[in-house]
Amino acid sequence: MPEWEAVIGLEIHTQLKTRTKMFCSCEAGFGGEPNTRTCPVCLAFPGALPVPNETAVEWTIKLGHALNCRVAEHAVFHRKNYFYPDNPKGYQISQYDEPLCIEGSFVVPGPDGDSEVRIVRAHLEEDAAKTIHVGGATGRIVGSAHSNVDFNRGGTPLVEIVTQPDLRSAEQAKRFLQLLRQTIVELGVSDAEMEKGTLRADANISVREVGEAGYRTRTELKNMNSFNHIARGIDAEIRRQIETWESGGEVVQETLDYEVKSDTVTPRRRKEEADDYLYFPEPDLVPLKPPADLVERLRTEVPELPGARIRRFEKEYELPYYDAEVLNGSAALAALYEQVALEGIDAKAASNVLMNDFVATGVDPAAVDGAELAKLIAARATIPRESFTRALIESGDPDFRAETYLGDTLVADTAELEPLVERVLADNPGQVAAYKGGKDGLLGFFVGQVMKETQGKADPKVVNELLRAKLA
């Protein structure tokens, strides 16, 4: 049996969160009564003229910098012609052979080194309106009674990012998308929420035998609305293609939908070639010529990005890769970690508390005073577990002070604990006999009983020592 490898490229669409739409002054953004955010431009009345959104152009350049792209000195809007109810003009204003950002790369750090994904382009276009199929079981057009169109979304600025087919597994594609999403969010140009459709990803997938040159026929997988579905959908399509080739069949170029329930892919329609769209330059818009000083200024506005920050955390705080990745799950969590680490407490201990106990509380890291949290973490060994957890839950309150909890110390006094330990042993003669007979694991049971007696306030280290001594 040959060994197969997957070849995956991604096309990502992200809606920019500008105040207004791409070519008119209608309010952009999720929500609103259907068809209340429209005007003659985005409804395509005859004679209405588009005016480009300057902020959208600047944010696309910023995103281009984050993707290490070259920003074109001359970029052109094209009309991409197709007929569909969500597209009142009969064409979408997009970019074709002269996009705004080209030839970039995006580095995804991992435990075993970096993987670099080349970026073909990042271009600016307008989103289509939203079609809602009513009366069917699946929300798809098949089986629906009728379809409504909400033009609120029509004309929202959209950046399309296209990668080279550099990804080799579903897991790698998922990790790439997660880091890209976080990068976009931290740039502040989009909320990039898959469940709201402000981030969407399609995958181009083919397989080949390991060592084979060139690419085989690829398919396009659409309609995946979470990172997990993307990974599962890609895996399902890789399986299907390998089975097809191995059984002597041929993979045909087509667009597929991933069905979550059955974990299978189903064909949608034959893929249009680029020519089908009859691209031609938009005659109502002049080419974009971003001035060099603007491009440079926008470059300086790009903050440290999560991929680079993960590597810095590994180095600067000597953290394992896993810790660095989890702490960089959001800019706010990473910033809180740095504030805590600055207070001079053990970097790994601080990481453990933040990654495990703190994240579990659901408290917004941006609301927490790092210096106060550091005091609490430094005293962790002397505070009862329960008080410590309560303190973490309250750490986001504006008047949170670690001192409140520092007095809540563990009972480490042997004179106080000894009678308790003795009582627990006297109350459980069966377990004592079993322990002495070789069931070492019962030590935990005795510790648990003592902790229960003291409402968790006994120092577990001292309790352990006392028990060992008494049971010897």
Measured distance CA(197)–CA(213) in Å, rounded: 36
Question: Would you give the DSSP letter of residue 23?
Answer: S
Q: Does 158 bind Zn ion (CB under 5 A)?
A: no
Q: Which is nearer to Zn ion, 151 or 245 (CB)?
A: 151
Q: Which of 6, 7, 8, 24 binds Zn ion (CB under 5 A)?
A: 24
Query: Which tokens sit at 181?
Result: 């999403």
Shortest distance, CB of residue 31 to Zn ion, whole angstroms? 16
434-443 contacts, C-beta under 8 A, 24 or more apart? 435/471, 436/471, 443/467, 443/468, 443/471
Could you give the angle at the alpha carbon of 270 between the alpha carbons of 269 and 275, nearest 5°?
A: 125
In single-letter form, the type of residue at position 238 comes to I
In 223-326, the DSSP E strands lie at 255-259, 264-269, 280-281
Q: Which of 8, 12, 26, 383 binds Zn ion (CB under 5 A)?
A: 26
* SS3 assignment, position 180: helix
Query: Which tokens sit at 412?
Result: 């480490």
71: exposed, middle or buried (Cβ count in 10 Å: 0-12, 13-18, 19+)? buried
Q: Does 76 bind Zn ion (CB under 5 A)?
A: no
Q: Cite the DSSP H helix spans in 317-369.
A: 321-327, 331-342, 347-352, 359-361
Shortest distance, CB of residue 300 to Zn ion, whole angstroms? 33
Q: Does 129 bind Zn ion (CB under 5 A)?
A: no
Q: Which is nearer to Zn ion, 24 or 298 (CB)?
A: 24
> Cα–chain-centroid distance for residue 103?
23
Q: Which is nearer to Zn ion, 51 or 278 (CB)?
A: 51
Measured distance CA(243)–CA(49) in Å, rounded: 51
Shortest distance, CB of residue 388 to Zn ion, whole angstroms? 54
Shortest distance, CB of residue 157 to Zn ion, whole angstroms? 12
Query: Which tokens sit at 177?
Result: 């998308």
Q: Which is nearer to Zn ion, 47 or 430 (CB)?
A: 47
Residues ≥6 apart with Cβ < 8 Å to 429: none
Q: Which is nearer to Zn ion, 158 or 201 (CB)?
A: 158
Q: Which of 8, 16, 22, 42 binds Zn ion (CB under 5 A)?
A: 42
Q: Which is nearer to Zn ion, 150 or 237 (CB)?
A: 150
* SS3 assignment, position 130: strand
Q: Which is nearer to Zn ion, 42 or 187 (CB)?
A: 42
Q: Which is nearer to Zn ion, 41 or 108 (CB)?
A: 41
**Span from 24-32, 101-109, 162-170, 438-446 in contact with Zn ion (CB under 5 A):** 24-32
**Span from 23-31, 202-210, 225-233, 387-395 in contact with Zn ion (CB under 5 A):** 23-31
**Span from 36-44, 118-126, 242-250, 346-354 in contact with Zn ion (CB under 5 A):** 36-44
* SS3 assignment, position 191: coil
**Span from 35-43, 57-65, 306-314, 318-326 in contact with Zn ion (CB under 5 A):** 35-43
Q: Which is nearer to Zn ion, 21 or 181 (CB)?
A: 21
Q: Which is nearer to Zn ion, 22 or 66 (CB)?
A: 22
Q: Which of 29, 30, 34, 39 binds Zn ion (CB under 5 A)?
A: 39
**Span from 17-25, 135-143, 214-222, 388-396 in contact with Zn ion (CB under 5 A):** 17-25
Q: Does 128 bind Zn ion (CB under 5 A)?
A: no
Shortest distance, CB of residue 92 to Zn ion, whole angstroms? 15
Shortest distance, CB of residue 290 to Zn ion, whole angstroms? 24
Shortest distance, CB of residue 59 to Zn ion, whole angstroms? 19
**Span from 25-33, 83-91, 170-178, 260-268 in contact with Zn ion (CB under 5 A):** 25-33
In angstroms, how far apart are the furthest CA atoms of the chain? 94
Shortest distance, CB of residue 15 to Zn ion, whole angstroms? 15
**Span from 22-30, 225-233, 241-249, 292-300 in contact with Zn ion (CB under 5 A):** 22-30
Pairing of strands 219-222, 255-259: parallel
124: left (phi over 0), alpha (psi -120 to 50) or beta: beta
Shortest distance, CB of residue 45 to Zn ion, whole angstroms? 10
Q: How many CA atoms lie within 13 A of 359 on its CB side?
A: 17
Neighbours of 42 (CB within 10 A): 27
Q: Which is nearer to Zn ion, 41 or 75 (CB)?
A: 41
Total binding residues toward Zn ion, as defined by CB under 5 A: 5
* SS3 assignment, position 147: strand
Report which of 404, 394, 413, 393 is spatially closest to residue 454, judged by C-alpha positions: 413
Could you give the angle at the alpha carbon of 351 between the alpha carbons of 348 and 356, nearest 5°?
A: 130
Contact footprint for Zn ion (CB under 5 A): 24, 26, 39, 41-42
